[in-house]
Amino acid sequence: MQLWRCGSGECNNDQVTWTSLDSRIGNLPTVLAGPILRTVTETSVTVWLALKEFATVTLTIHNSDAATAPAIETPTPVPARRIGPKLYIVAVTANLSTKLALGRLYFYRLSFATASGTKNLAEATGRSISAFAYGNYQAPSFLLPPANIEQVRFALGSCRKIHTNSADALALLDDTLAANVNSPSARPQILMLGGDQIYADEVADSLLMMLTDAGRTLLGYEDLPLPSNTLTTPDQLPPTTRTKRIK
């Protein structure tokens, strides 16, 4: 498909290889997005995922990444919630009766009970565990901030626009975590995001086309915050035409 990229009053004819999500989703794995580690406290850990099909998700927390390491506590499976015809969302929380230690490295595992059987994280995402675990670890890891406030490390991010010419700072954070895989105390323990994270009024034109296509496939619709007596369908508001209507 050929896309036009426009900005500052000029349009460039760029060739982009892209196929509608509707024709690809049947070949995609169960997990469409995630896992994303959300809030972690001394007594709870929450992981977020987006799925293309219904699944009951189980989250277990471990002291070690060894395959034989037992879960710290018996988990409670959580069913994903249907958001659209091909989109399910789940934020699964492991509630712990024993507090996690400050500054210590922990690991988590996920299992997915689907209509076709139970899958682990690698099977549900179609990727090797190395995509989620740093170094030689065999499971994703996390840690709480240390007790000494002077050793607490923050990662601070603000506005993120993928169609700028600057480096991707979020990818640099990933590099930082990978470089300190054997030094947990040197890893950032807290991620703080400020500012406008999505730029709904300034999305790259090619990305907006893909998002509109994805919305149609996953949700079956796209809601636009417009008065009922005006144009309201995505096709009637293509890229480069939405800015004034949503400001």
pLDDT tens for residues 56-97?
999 999 998 888 888 888 888 999 999 888 999 999 999 998
- Using a pLDDT cut of 90, give the percent of the chain over it: 29
Residue 171: φ, ψ to 5°: -70, -35
- The DSSP secondary structure of 110-173, one letter per residue, reads EEEEETTEEEEHHHHHTS-GGGTS-TT-SS-EEEPPPSSGGG--EEEE----TTSSS--HHHHH
Q: Which two tokens stand for residue 125?
A: 């995402």
Please say if the pLDDT value at position 228 is more than 90: no
Please say if the pLDDT value at position 15 is more than 70: no
Classified by CATH at the fold level, domain 21-144 comes out as Immunoglobulin-like (2.60.40)
Highest mean pLDDT among 123-132, 167-176, 195-204: 123-132
pLDDT, position 10? 42
Please say if the pLDDT value at position 51 is more than 90: yes
Q: Which two tokens stand for residue 156?
A: 């601070």
Please say if the pLDDT value at position 243 is more than 80: no
Higher-scoring residue by pLDDT: 1, 242: 242
Cα separation, 100 vs 63, whole angstroms: 10
Q: Render pLDDT for 99-108 as a digit per residue (tens, 0 to 9).
A: 999 888 899 9
Please say if the pLDDT value at position 109 is more than 50: yes
Q: Render pLDDT for 145-172 as a digit per residue (tens, 0 to 9).
A: 888 888 888 888 777 677 777 777 778 8
Categorize the per-residue pLDDT at 9 as very low, low, confident or very high, splitting at 50, 70 and 90. very low
pTM: 0.81
Enclosing H/E stretch for 5 = strand 2-7
